[in-house]
Chains A and B, each alone.
Chain A
Amino acid sequence: MSRNQSLTSNVDWGLLIVFFLMLGMGVANVYSVAYNEDHPNFFDFSQKYGKQILWIGFSLFLGIVVFLIDSDIYRKFAIPIYLFCIGMLVLVLFMPAVNGAHAWLGFGSLGIQPAEFAKIGTAIALGRYINSLNVNQQNVKTVILANIILLGPMVLILMQPDAGSFVVFTSFLFVMYREGLTYDPIVLKLVNLIPGIKFKSTWVGSHFIPILFAVVFLSLVTLLMSNNVLTFEFWPGLEIPGFYGVLISLFLLALISYLILRWVSSKRDRNKVTVIVLIGFIMAAGISTTVNIGFQGLAIHQKERIELFLGMREDPNGDDYNRNRAMAAVGSGGLTGKGYKNASLASVESNHVPESETDFIFCPLAEEWGFVGSLVIMFLFMFMLIRIITIAERQKSRFNRVYAYSVAMIIFYHFAINIGMNIGFAPVIGIPLPFFSYGGSSMMSFSVMMFILIKLDSQRNDVLS
Chain B
Amino acid sequence: MNTDARRYVILIFFLVIGVIYSIRLFYMQVVDESWTLRAQEIAEKRHVVVPPRGIVKDRNGKKIVINKTYYNLMMCEKDIKHLDTVAFAKLIGWTPEKVKYRFKEIYYEEGFDKNPKTKRRNVPRYQKMRKYAFVKEMTTEEMAEIAPYLGNFPGFFEEITSMRSYPYANAANILGYVSEVNGQEVEEDRFYRSGDNIGRAGLERFYETDLRGRKGVHYIVTSAMNNAIEPYANGKYDTTAKQGPVLNLSVDIDLQAYGESLMVNKRGCIVAIEPSSGEILAMVSAPTFDPNLFVGKRATSQNYPRLLLDKDKPLYPRPLQAEYPPGSIFKLLQSVIALQEGAITINTGFPCNKSLVGCHNHPNAGNIMEAVQMSCNPYYYQAVRRIIQGGRKKGLYADAEEGLRIWSQYMQSFGLGHKLDTDIPGIRGGLIPNPNYYDNEFPSKKRPYGHHQWAFSTIRSISIGQGEVKVTPLQMANIAALIANRGWFYTPHFVKSIGRQGPKPIYKKKNYTMVKSQHFDPVIEGMRRVVNEGGGTARRARLEDIIVCGKTGTAQNPQGEDHSVFIAFAPMNNPKIAISVYVENAGAGGQWAAPIASLMIEKYLKNKISDPEKEKRILEANLMNVVKKGK
Instruction: Please give the distance in Å from A321's CB to the nearest CB on chain B.
Output: 10
Stretch of B17-25, B367-375, B435-443 contacting A (4+ beta carbons < 8 Å): B17-25
B561 interface residue per 8 A CB criterion: no
**Contact sample, A vs B, 9 pairs, CB 8 Å cutoff:** A178-B6, A232-B32, A324-B38, A330-B29, A331-B35, A350-B221, A366-B29, A389-B10, A425-B20
Of A20-28, A83-91, A295-303, A416-424, which stretch is located at the interface? A416-424
Tell which of B68-76, B222-230, B508-516, B581-589 binds the partner: B222-230
- Chain B contacts for A345, CB-based, 8 A: 39, 42-43
Q: Mark B5-22, 1 if CB is under 8 A from A, else 0.
A: 011011111111111111
* Nearest A residue to B32, CB-CB: A231
Residues in chain A near residue B22, CB distance under 8 A: 374-375, 378
Could you tell me if B38 and A423 are in contact, using CB atoms closer than 8 angstroms? no
- Answer whether residue B31 sits at the interface, using C-beta atoms and an 8 A cutoff: yes
Once A328-B38, A352-B224 are accepted as A-B contacts, the answer to whether A180 and B3 lie under 8 Å apart by CB is: yes
Docked Cα-Cα span, A325 to B26, in Å, equals 18
Q: Tell me whether B11 and A423 are in contact (CB under 8 A).
A: no
A349 at the interface (CB under 8 A from B): yes
**Minimum CB distance partner of A221 in chain B:** B20
Is the pair B223, A389 in contact by a Cβ cutoff of 8 Å?
A: no
Secondary structure dominating the interface of A: helix
A412 at the interface (CB under 8 A from B): yes
Q: A180-B3, A180-B6, A386-B14 are in contact. List 4 more A-B contacts (CB 8 A).
A: A178-B6, A217-B17, A374-B29, A375-B22
Are A420 and B21 in contact, CB atoms less than 8 angstroms apart? yes
* Inter-subunit contact A210/B28 (CB<8 Å): no
Contacts of A179 in B (CB 8 A): 3
Q: How distant is the Cα of A162 from the Cα of B33 in the complex, in angstroms? A: 35
Contact A344 B36 (CB under 8 A): no
Q: A136's contact among B1, B24, B225, by CB below 8 Å, is which?
A: B1
Once bound together, how far apart are the Cα atoms of A38 and B26, in whole Å? 36
Q: Can you name the residue of chain B whose Cβ is closest to the Cβ of A351? A: B224
With A253-B19, A419-B21 known as contacts, the answer to whether A174 contacts B29 (CB < 8 A) is no
A404-415 CB contact bits vs B (8 Å, 1 = yes)? Answer: 010011001000
User: Are B7's CB and A393's CB within 8 A?
Assistant: yes
The answer for the CA separation of A177 and B98 in the assembled complex, in Å, is 75
Asked whether any CB of chain B lies closer than 8 Å to the CB of A213, the reply is: yes
CB proximity of A199 to chain B, nearest CB, Å: 14
Q: Which residues of A contact B232 (CB under 8 A)?
A: 344
Evaluate whether A207 and B9 lie within 8 angstroms (CB atoms) in the complex, with A331-B36, A345-B42, A352-B43 already known: yes
Docked CA distance A136–B2 (Å): 9
Q: Mark B168-192, 1 if CB is under 8 A from A, else 0.
A: 0000000000000000000000000
Which residues from B are CB-within-8-Å of A347? 229
In the complex, identify which listed stretch (A63-71, A96-104, A109-117, A332-340) lies at the interface while the others stay far away: A332-340
Q: What is the number of residues of chain A that contact chain B, defined by CB distance less than 8 Å?
A: 65
Would you call B29 and A352 a contact (CB within 8 A)?
A: no
Measured between C-beta atoms, what is the minimum distance from B176 to chain A in Å?
A: 44
Counting chain A CB atoms within 10 Å of each CB, the highest count among B4, B11, B34 belongs to: B34
Q: How far is the CB of A307 from chain B (nearest CB, A)?
A: 19
List A contacts of B32 (CB < 8 A). 230-233, 331
CA distance A331 to B232 in the complex (A): 17
CA distance A230 to B31 in the complex (A): 10
How many interface residues does chain B have, given as a range? 35 or more
B21 contacts A423, C-beta separation under 8 Å: yes
Pairs A-B, 7 closest by C-beta atoms: A331-B35, A332-B39, A180-B3, A351-B224, A331-B28, A328-B38, A344-B221
- A178 to B29, Cβ gap below 8 A? no
**B402 contacts partner chain A, Cβ-Cβ < 8 Å:** no
Q: Cβ of A378 and Cβ of B42 under 8 Å apart?
A: no
- The residue in chain B whose Cβ has the minimal distance to the Cβ of A200 is B1
Q: Which residue of A lies closest to B221 (CB)?
A: A344
CA distance A374 to B21 in the complex (A): 10
Contact at B30–A335, with CB atoms within 8 Å? yes
Asked whether A331 lies within 8 Å of B38 as measured between CB atoms, the reply is yes
A444 interface contact, C-beta 8 A? no
| Complex alpha-carbon distance, A217 and B24, angstroms | 14
A57-B565 Cα distance, complex, nearest whole Å = 98
Given contacts A253-B16, A371-B29, is CB(A177)–CB(B44) below 8 Å?
Answer: no
Residues on the B chain within 8 Å of A370, using CB: 29
CB of A163 within 8 Å of the partner chain? no
Chain B CB within 10 Å — which of A178, A331, A378 has the most? A331
Q: A210-B13, A366-B25, A382-B15 are in contact. Are A234 and B31 (CB under 8 A)?
A: yes
Q: A298-342 toward B: CB 8 Å interface, digit per residue (1/0)?
A: 000000000000000000000000001101111111110010001
Chain A residues with Cβ under 8 A from B29's Cβ?
A: 330-331, 333-335, 366, 370-371, 374
Task: State the Cβ distance, A403 to closest chain B Cβ, in Å.
Answer: 15
The answer to whether B108 has its CB under 8 Å from any CB of chain A is: no
**Closest chain B residue to A178 by CB distance?**
B6
Which residues of chain A have C-beta atoms less than 8 A from B43's C-beta?
Answer: 344-345, 350, 352
Q: Is A138 an interface residue (CB 8 A)?
A: yes
- Tell me the bound Cα distance from A215 to B224 in angstroms: 37
A249 lies within 8 A of chain B by Cβ: yes
8 A Cβ contacts from A126-160 to B: 136, 138
CB-based contact A232/B31 at 8 Å? yes
